[in-house]
Structure 1
């Protein structure tokens, strides 16, 4: 006779199988195929060759231009993550302290960028930051004539922050709402002020949400394609642009695949390092 726990376990496996099959077919298998392709040679006359080689990776790692693109991609990702954290944490605290319609309106305002096409959002920033846009007109009205605000890293980072702010706020909000209010009240009853309560109670207990939000924002920014292409243009090439040019324009699939896997490897390494530093600190309240 089967035990109830074993029966539930088998039912759970059967329920997971369809999603697992979709994941394997449409994600794992293509990634493995791209990895295999990155180790093949390429010729402009014959296309993808059959010879196994490491020249695609050595070509990338040995060229300062390509390494500069990688560094720019990581720099934009770090800046976007830091700015979304600095803006998102106070917003998450405001959402935690509000109720009713005000909270609903704030959540709708926060999620509204996700309801619009990424292309439309990017072109909206093109209009706003353009030489004849409202920002340029306002600065010109007060006598300030800055250089072009488009096609630079600032424009790309601004567009990224606008797109990915919600991915930072929601995990932090979840962590803040999971904190037992009695812990905060106990700290305040013992004489802790607002800053001491935040530094010793709220911030340490919300580190899991900070970690989750930072991982999502950093990884999404590093792999983003549309926003850097529209707001950065050819002056701000990133890894996704390089991979696209190599595969779709030059049809050099082996090198484009190698570029993609270099991006994956570096992103995973940085995220693992970040989790090692921050992850072990989440959930513990320091005692002083």
Structure 2
């Protein structure tokens, strides 16, 4: 991987770090660029391997569907898994298997780095408090921006070095972890997708509408028993959704359109009040 590519991944990874204010805050950063499927697709374009990037992104996204941050605690760092494990897997051609193998232990190392970064950044809220006590709005804003300096330096440096020096450097970092921890994390990595889908089903299948589990079963059968990929399955799901809406609410939609037409006719076709 060229140095400029590694540096660009470092910049992209920094934008996806939790608690960065860019790209509309967490909406566009951590919950946008920082999502594995988004980041890996962008990196796939960078390396000229879009299908590989999308496949790796989908696999990593599934791993982190069920990961939450209760009270700000980070159980596994998604950024390390994506911007080091995912990028190296795309660049080297090892694909999904290589990405998952690197993602699990890297996620734990990322947690340690996140805590280190937050330790440095704990100084800046106090700086903002002092500015607030003086009524200094510019000082409050300055404290927020200064907090990004250690975050930028730490993450961009680590991401750039890891991607530029390659898999051997990353494996050297991972080798510092005890074998028992890596084995436990590998098992957890295989369980995480199931937890993520189970959490999604809790939102989909609600009391009184248990029949909606049928959509999940149909999608599962299609993806396992056919040659459907994620894109074709998504388009198929959109088609089913359209048919369902028309079959369930078609008469109501027609009734609403009919009422609107009648009202317009009664008003002589005018859209304004005299």
Q: Same fold (TM over 0.5)?
A: no
Q: Greater relative contact order (Cα 8 A, min sep 6): structure 1 or 2?
A: 1
TM-score normalised by structure 2 residue count: 0.30
